[in-house]
Structure 1
Amino acid sequence: MRIAIAQMCSGIDPAANAKALRAHIEEAAAQGAEILFTPEMTGLIDRNRNRAAGNIHIERDDPVLKEACDAAAQVNIHVALGSLAIRPDAGEYGEDDKWVNRSFLIDPTGQIAARYDKIHLFDVDLDTGETWRESAAYAGGQQAVLAPLAGPATKATLGLSVCYDLRFPALYSALTNAGADILSIPAAFTVPTGAAHWEILLRARAIEAGVFVVAAAQSGTHEDGRATYGHSMVVDPWGEVLLDMGTDTGTATCDIDLEAVARVRSRIPAISNRREFASPKVSFDDSI
């Protein structure tokens, strides 16, 4: 199965990002890919939330999503749209003032085949004085999502996730227990955390379940001033890195052998060996 990755440096103008996305979709199809994976926040990266608010729409009105669906149908390709900032429909989350970080799978007819809202939100107070509160603007998803992929000669099951989800292996255990053989992990990792943890965590997610990991990333210095790490990757079920795009933006393809999933799992049957267990029992010895 030939897959493609778009490594992007999305900015504050959704129209410009949509134009770049269409070019990636057309290039991926021209290179024979069955599916293109794009990064987290493909349509908009803007940490100025007041400015961003005017560019965030309900799903049916989102111009970047519409461009992706139109382009996918035009060139007959799946698009795993890493994520967009979306306004939920009224009452969908009970928090009408918050957005969701939503990933989409678009089929080759341009229809939305699956959608997933990022579950884990990044909230932290750093000793440098910096504070990040993703939950101040976004509502967290509540449902893990699998999506079937059917190509001309191959079939696969895609497990959806987004960026910070990468640090929570229980989500990927749920996805692989339910049949995922490819994990999509689009991201916009910062440079320091990317250098420290990105490859290690991606390889761990692949190794622990014998699964392909496809991680499309944002890269470079963005219009809003933030910098992202890049290094979009494809990792095979044995943990080998098949593709590392470095820091340049562009479209790259990679051929994956889906039969490798069964071969690796026959050698290390981690999924079938998983067991349920009770929470830890804490015991204190008063004599010490």
Structure 2
Amino acid sequence: MMKVAAIQMVSSNVLADNMATAKRLLIAAAGEGAGLLLLPEYWPLMGLQDTDKLAIAEPAGSGPMQEFLAEMARSLKVWIIGGTIPLQSAEAGKVMNSTLVFDPQGVQRVRYDKIHLFGFSKGEESYEEARTITAGEQVTTFETDAGRVGLSICYDLRFPELFRAMGPCSLIVVPAAFTYTTGQAHWEILLRARAIENQCYVLASGQGGKHLNGRRTWGHSMLIDPWGKIVAELPEGEGMVSGEIDAELLQQIRASLPALQHRKL
């Protein structure tokens, strides 16, 4: 079994402050025995404007945010799934919203660029990620001692075909910054559905609180087992949730209800 942990933050518009918070929480999670740590979406910066992330975007392979993630993985001897950081895009005025995965030696193993870009408008609340983000195209998974891990980001959660395309996974991760409005209505339902239909663990790491830019995020970071049971949950504020990836339970569920083998499409 492998213990995993999801870090929940309420990120500000100051990169240095957010890095200090992330470091403190990562150290705490590793200290409790977690071997795979997940940060939330936008952990380095929740800017006052959508365009603020352009100023800190790094080229792939170098920069303070990437060096921080590599060093934390290496020093703590854990897997770190680095939430998302802004990486430079070929499109002017835009970034890639990217998840980088570092192994316990601090080596970057894979990168996933968010495929589905969030758009929502209701009353005074409006978001349009496509204005500042270039969409990714590649489904991404990687292997650990606990099995295959599938990568997704926030709004991807609403598109079950992405998770089917990953193939059988032991764990799917969802770093997110769900809005309070959409999170209250759909977050738990969608997470549990992805766990049930793919018969795997789901680890979700959220932003959870009121940010300086006025945005309120839903939080409720959680670990869900392959039967759809919530193992651990943190409603709001910074902190962490953790639990074990039990390979025996996963296999028992897949053996007793072999839905993945019954697929026709």
Match of 2:3 in 1: 2
Q: Is 2:78 the counterpart of 1:98?
A: no
Contact between 2:168 and 2:198, CA under 8 Å: does it hold in 1? no
Structure 2 SS opposite 1:29: helix
Match of 1:135 in 2: 130
Letter in 2 for 1:59: A
Match of 1:284 in 2: none
Q: Distance between the aligned counterparts of 2:163 and 2:18, measured in 1?
A: 30
Letter in 2 for 1:258: A
Match of 1:286 in 2: none
Contact between 2:233 and 2:241, CA under 8 Å: does it hold in 1? no
Contact between 1:8 and 1:249, CA under 8 Å: does it hold in 2? yes
Match of 1:279 in 2: none
Contact between 2:39 and 2:205, CA under 8 Å: does it hold in 1? yes
- For the aligned residue pairs, the C-alpha RMSD in angstroms reads 1.6
Contact between 1:25 and 1:72, CA under 8 Å: does it hold in 2? no
Contact between 1:6 and 1:24, CA under 8 Å: does it hold in 2? yes
Deviation at 1:130, TM superposition (A): 4.7
Match of 2:79 in 1: 78
Contact between 1:7 and 1:217, CA under 8 Å: does it hold in 2? yes
Structure 2 SS opposite 1:36: strand
CA offsets 1:88-139 (integer angstroms, 9 cap, x no match):
3xx5xxx24321110111101111111100100113444x265432111111
Letter in 1 for 2:155: Y
Superposed, 1:3-18 pairs within 5 Å as 3-18=4-19
Q: Distance between the aligned counterparts of 1:209 and 1:52, measured in 2?
A: 34
Letter in 2 for 1:186: P
Q: TM-score, length-normalised on structure 2?
A: 0.94
Q: Give the fraction of aligned pairs with identical amino acids, expressed as a percent.
A: 35
Structure 1 SS opposite 2:44: coil
Match of 2:112 in 1: 116
Q: Distance between the aligned counterparts of 1:120 and 1:190, measured in 2?
A: 16
Q: Distance between the aligned counterparts of 1:51 and 1:143, measured in 2?
A: 26
Deviation at 1:252, TM superposition (A): 3.2
Q: Across the two proteins, how many residue pairs are aligned to each other?
A: 264
Deviation at 1:47, TM superposition (A): 4.7
Q: Distance between the aligned counterparts of 1:125 and 1:196, measured in 2?
A: 15
Contact between 1:15 and 1:64, CA under 8 Å: does it hold in 2? no
Contact between 2:172 and 2:201, CA under 8 Å: does it hold in 1? yes
Match of 1:107 in 2: 103
Q: Is 2:188 the counterpart of 1:202?
A: no
Which of 146, 153, 160 is the aligned partner of 2:151?
160
CA offsets 1:190-213 (integer angstroms, 9 cap, x no match):
112111111111000000121100
Match of 1:273 in 2: 262
Q: TM-score, length-normalised on structure 1?
A: 0.87
Which of 137, 144, 163 is the aligned partner of 1:172?
163
Contact between 2:54 and 2:94, CA under 8 Å: does it hold in 1? no
Contact between 2:223 and 2:241, CA under 8 Å: does it hold in 1? no
Contact between 1:12 and 1:52, CA under 8 Å: does it hold in 2? no
Letter in 2 for 1:245: L
Contact between 1:212 and 1:235, CA under 8 Å: does it hold in 2? yes
Unmatched tracts of structure 1, length 5 or more? 277-288
Letter in 1 for 2:84: S
Letter in 1 for 2:25: H
Q: Is 2:22 the counterpart of 1:21?
A: yes
Q: Distance between the aligned counterparts of 2:211 and 2:125, measured in 1?
A: 19
CA offsets 1:173-205 (integer angstroms, 9 cap, x no match):
111xx2311000111111121111111110000
Contact between 2:82 and 2:100, CA under 8 Å: does it hold in 1? yes
Q: Distance between the aligned counterparts of 2:64 and 2:17, measured in 1?
A: 11
Q: Distance between the aligned counterparts of 1:170 and 1:253, measured in 2?
A: 27
Match of 1:251 in 2: 240
Match of 2:66 in 1: 65
Contact between 1:18 and 1:68, CA under 8 Å: does it hold in 2? no
Structure 2 SS opposite 1:183: strand
